[in-house]
Amino acid sequence: MTEQIASIVAEEQAPPAGRRNKTQLKRRSLLDRLGWFAFILPVVLGVLIFSFYPMVISLYYSFFKTYTGTTNMPSFYVNGFLNFGVFNYKKLFTLDSEVWIALRVTFTYAIVVVPLSLVLSFLVALLLNSQVKGIGVFRVIYYLPVIIPTTISGLLWADFFDARFGLANNILASLRLPESRFLTSAQTALPTFMAMQLWTLGASMILWLSALKNVPQSLIESAKLDGAGPLRRLWKIIVPMCTPILFYNLITGIIGALQLYGPVMTLMGQNGAGPDNALLFYAYKIYGTAFADWNMGYACALAWFLFVIIAALTALIFRTNKWVYYGDGE
């Protein structure tokens, strides 16, 4: 009797079934959210600590004229004078002539190398898209230069283009052509460096291959039946279908060219500017200002100026991307 009364009381005190289901659903939803948050937490922390915080603190440092340390925060007054202001940006635009030399070198490199790399990697991808026995071996060979570490690649090219003992001049001599000074001359240093960078077309080539594989063969066959030749099929069907990869390669190519630093440093060492600043890239100018001159504030200002340039160019390309074909729905 007592057990029956206790069970009746428990049933009366228990919440309705519908309310219990809602509570359980809320708990499950909360657990699901916490689970997803736990998975993305490392990425969020990495972005905040290694990307967002350095950007914010570098913008703060860029307004300090005197800042030569990496551990102590700069003070607003140094020797009784105000240390906070737009001194660094004024120097950037009016006093430092090397900034414009670095911009000229960097943009010359970008204007020449980015279009050439797009065209050459696309042509290589067209060749490697052929259904030929053993074509996979050639794909691997063309991709191999991409996986060579930057340091090793720089040392190899430095030996190859050595003006006195390099293999390049030996090849020219064997062909009875005049020798060149390559990286030791202001006239030939930048063209030589551009030629070196065109060897790493494998990364763009892989992306072009993926785009070519997605071109519907039915369109190609229909164009053949209509009498379209190879060039017409290439220009009217293949290229438009590959414009999303073209757009991606263009954006990444411009950003990479304007931020180029590693190959210059590994190739030339501490003399990375080359003869008459022929290889004074903008990123190398930032590095030298920060870690050779120990002028962190001015280096941060230089970096933010480069950020504005890249952001403006990227926004311009995105505003003019109507030529990109994304499918029948666009």
The structural domains of the chain, ordered by start, are 18-61 (no CATH), 92-319 (1.10.3720.10)
DSSP labels, 41-89: HHHHHHHIIIIIHHHHHHHHHTTBS----SSSPPPSEETTEE-BSSHHH
For residue 313, the 8-state DSSP code is: H
300 and 61 in contact (C-beta within 8 Å)?
yes
pLDDT at 31: 61
List 253's β-bridge partners, or say none: none
pLDDT at 164: 83
* Angle subtended at Cα 152 by Cα 149 and Cα 157, rounded to the nearest 5 degrees: 120
Closest CA to 199 of 153, 252, 145, 161: 145
Strand duo 81-82 + 77-78: pairing: antiparallel
pLDDT at residue 14, rounded to an integer:
47
Q: Which pLDDT score is estimated for 217? A: 84
Q: How many helices (H) and strands (E) does the chain have?
A: 17, 2
Beta-bridge mates of residue 84: 64
Per-residue pLDDT of the chain (330 residues; tens, 9 = 90+): 555 544 544 444 445 545 555 565 566 666 666 777 778 888 889 999 998 998 998 898 888 776 555 455 666 656 555 667 788 898 888 888 899 999 999 999 999 999 999 999 999 999 988 888 888 888 888 888 888 888 888 888 888 888 888 888 889 888 888 888 888 888 888 999 998 888 888 889 999 998 898 888 888 888 888 888 888 888 888 888 899 999 999 999 999 999 998 888 888 765 567 777 888 999 999 998 888 888 888 999 999 999 999 999 999 999 988 888 876 544
For residue 130, give both structure tokens: 């052929």
What SS3 class is residue 265? helix
